[in-house]
Amino acid sequence: MMDAWQGWLYVAAVVIPLAAFVVQILGLRLFRKQTALIATGAIASSLILSAIGFGSYFIASGGMPSPHAEGHEGESPEASPAAAGAFSEGRAAPLAWSGNWTWVSLGRGLLPDRQPLAIPIGIRIDALAVLMFLMVTFIATLIHVYSMEYMEGDPRYPRFFAYLSLFCFSMLGLVASSSVFLVFVFWELVGICSYLLIGFWYEDRSNSDAANKAFIVNRIGDVGMLVGLGLLWTQLGTFDIAEINAGLSAVEARQGDALGRITSEDPGAVWNVMIGGTERSIPHWILVLAGLGIFAGCVGKSAQFPLHVWLPDAMAGPTPVSALIHAATMVAAGVYLVGRFFPLFSAEVLLVIAYTGGITLFLAATIALVQVDYKKVLAYSTVSQLGFMMLALGVGGWAAGLFHLLTHAFFKALLFLGAGSVHHAVHTYDLRPLGGLRRKMPVTAATMLIGTLAISGVPLFSGFYSKDAILASAIHFVSERPGHALLLVLPASGAAMTAFYMFRMWFLLFTGSSRGWSAAGLAPEHGQRDDPAALAHESGPRITWPLRILAVPTVMIGWPLTILPLAVAGLPFHPVLEDWLSSAAPLPAQPLGSAQSWAAATSLLVLVVGVGLAFLAYHPSKTIRRIDPARMAAHLGGLYSLFVNSWYFDEVYQALVVRPCLAIGRRAAWVDRVVIDGIIDGLAAITVALSRLDRAIDASVVDRLVSLVAGMIYVLGGVGRRLQTGRLRSYLMVLSIAFVLLSVGVLVWVVR
């Protein structure tokens, strides 16, 4: 039941990459080189469909909605009546195309009062999904083109493109899904693609370890998510995101809060929620628990503290993969999901989200300051930027967070692809021996400079506007809740550090002259010559053109003015994209008031500090360079080594989680040997002692002698004796002991 033809358009956009994947996998041997063309063609057609969909949405929704005009009239048929009902108070429902089917009906319960266990599938395309589609397909198409050159000559070239197609399918499906259940399915699928692609060069053991780490860390988050989904399902009885959102946006508890959040002093308070026409209730504490659970899944996927450890390692995969999956799209899925489920999160959970984001962005930024591997700099930078987005969502800046998601996708993809281009030329990720690549790789240098300017938040580049929006939301929140001033300090200092480490990287890579391995005091990697940049040259057109093309949105998508016919009169400095997003927000946006000008001032200030420090420390010109980074590092001392070692997270996890788990695993198998056998042998000793009496009556002399010896050994105790498992009698002893213990348990209760 699709309510608009555009819905089918998007279904096609999702399914085409899947079809491409199937064709490629079946013809893995047959097509070889052509697989790249199939994959690229598929994603390009998805891009075209998304563009058509975007245009159609733009027209159908009546052009650019005015951000603060309440009661905008959607002229197209609104799909979900529940959504319409929920938005009826004050706001018309934003346009959304949806189609819902029942995938699996596990049958109505045998009793009439039971709800049927049906698993719905469906798509829902709203403004956010339209934008996400365009972003994902656009970047993915460019990355496909880029990969054709980057992966050339790889023995598993066809397989790479097959995986990419599978990923595109999963990611687009994740964006389009209307039900929690389907979101979870695609959520796992993107995880599997990520696993396959991180471990793509599995010959190197560290790569397959990184893949496993990513997989496992994500599963930890997913447990929380499953618990959250289970709770929601039992309480609300639906899997439909729009229904859940509509129901929860209308909860009366929002009235009492200045920021429009669900707050309650009493954890036992029960909210009545209208779900698809029936009233259901959910206690506040379950709502909090469900929110935390779902957020846990997002923490894993979006590499937030404390589960951020997998993302830097995940950069072991090919660089186009890092750009597409681990920078632009998949890792942003956690942020996307928090945005999708926004009305679900109560005030407490939002605070947790904000602080998680704040801590993450700060931690990751400090680590990125000192990395000597430029891909790692970008990796930690990604973690940090994702933290910005989470923080924005947590402080109520829904549009700001998702705006940053979109701008970040473009500039971070650009930066990663640029890094890949550099690696393609010099075959190392180490910053120290490199330098002066600007002359040899002008296009890469220029486009990466654009990316750097954007991520640092230089005005007129997209990153400035989105970061500005985040700071504005944070300032607004802090002005309402002065106790949470940290939520402003963290992003402000994080933004300064961002500008610093990005310029540091750019200076070290592209300016000055090549330092060479020996000058950096290092041994060349993989038997390279001393100067890795000696033979460097600009990459081919299939690498440079995607860079050039990506540079355009990197600059432009944040602009207040676009080429589209707009109705943004009166707001000359307000980014179009953000307005577009806030018109689609599940909850009405809070007016920010004076926070915006404060935010602009703050972001300029931190930019000057960050960039200034980077110039002072790393600019090639001696006259500008005043700070010696090495001495700075020495001054920082312990802090420096803390950053270099990523705050020792891996070590701590190794000591606190991994080793104990392995130890328990080994122990559990050997419990028989160590613990149970000890007990058993003690008991067996008694048994045997008794049995000597019995044996004295029967059996041969030899038997008695043997058992006497065994008895002696037992009586002397299993202490210090190397015990073997696998003995039947000890198994039976466990059985008997267990039976006796269970009996005691039962009898105590029975006799009671």
Q: Which of positions 302-361 make contact with other proteins (CB under 8 A)?
A: none
696 binds other proteins (CB under 8 A): no
The torsion angles phi and psi of 178, rounded to 5 degrees, stand at -100, -15
Q: Which two tokens stand for residue 298?
A: 């997002």
Instruction: Round to whole Å and give the CA distance between 128 and 336.
Output: 9
Q: Which is nearer to other proteins, 84 or 715 (CB)?
A: 715
Nearer to other proteins, 630 or 728 (CB): 728
Strands 118-125 and 97-105, sheet pairing = antiparallel
Range in contact with other proteins (rule: CB under 8 A) among 67-75, 123-131, 471-479, 682-690: 682-690
* Choice from 260, 520, 670, 713 touching other proteins (CB under 8 A): 670
Continuous segment of H or E residues that includes residue 36: helix 34-60
Residue 103's SS3 state is strand
Residues 134-193 that bind other proteins (CB under 8 A): 184-185, 188-189, 192
Cis amide linkage into residue 306, ω under 30° from 0: yes
Based on the shown chain and the rule CB under 8 A, indicate whether residue 513 belongs to the binding site for other proteins. no
Hey, which residues between 227 and 246 contact other proteins (CB under 8 A)?
A: 227, 230, 233-234
Nearer to other proteins, 63 or 745 (CB): 745
Q: Output the smallest distance, CB 243 to other proteins, in A.
A: 18
Question: What number of chain residues touch other proteins (CB under 8 A)?
Answer: 80
Q: Rule CB under 8 A: is residue 742 a binding residue for other proteins?
A: yes
Identify which of 306, 308, 320 has the alpha carbon closest to the alpha carbon of residue 214: 308
Task: Report the residue number, 142 or 190, with the smaller CB distance to other proteins.
Answer: 190
From 673, 704, 708, 715, residue interacting with other proteins (rule: CB under 8 A): 673
Closest CB to other proteins among residues 103, 598 = 103
Given candidates 661, 674, 696, 712, which one binds other proteins under the rule CB under 8 A? 661
Q: Is 724 in the site for other proteins (CB under 8 A)?
A: yes
Exposure string of 552-580, with b = 16+ CB inside 10 Å and e = fewer, is: ebbbbbbebebeeebebeeeeebbbbbbb
Of positions 111, 569, 697, 701, contacts other proteins by CB under 8 A:
111
d(CA 58, CA 687): 84
Binding flag, residue 619, other proteins (CB under 8 A): no
Dihedral sign computed on CA atoms, order 525, 528, 531, 532: negative
114 counts as binding other proteins under rule CB under 8 A: yes
Q: Is 743 in the site for other proteins (CB under 8 A)?
A: yes
Q: Please enumerate, as own/partner, the contacts of 576-580 that have beta carbons within 8 Å and a separation of 24 or more.
A: 576/64, 577/131, 577/403, 577/406, 577/407, 578/67, 578/399, 578/400, 578/403, 578/465, 578/466, 578/469, 579/64, 579/65, 579/66, 579/67, 579/399, 580/64, 580/65, 580/127, 580/131
Interface segment toward other proteins; rule CB under 8 A; list 196-204, 495-503, 574-582, 636-644 = 196-204
CA–CA gap between residue 282 and residue 273 (Å, rounded): 7
Q: Which of 226, 446, 566, 636 binds other proteins (CB under 8 A)?
A: 226
CB atoms closer than 10 angstroms to residue 466: 32
Q: Which is nearer to other proteins, 623 or 700 (CB)?
A: 700
- Of 633 and 683, nearer to other proteins (C-beta) is 683
726 binds other proteins, rule: CB under 8 A: yes
Q: Provide the mask over 200-219, with x wherever binding to other proteins is found by CB under 8 A and - wherever it is not.
A: --xx----x--xx--xx--x
Minimum distance from residue 105 beta carbon to other proteins (Å): 5
Instruction: Tell me how crowded residue 492 is: count the other CB atoms within 10 A of its CB.
Output: 20
Phi, psi of 57 (to 5 degrees): -65, -40
Binding to other proteins (CB under 8 A) within 461-490 occurs at none
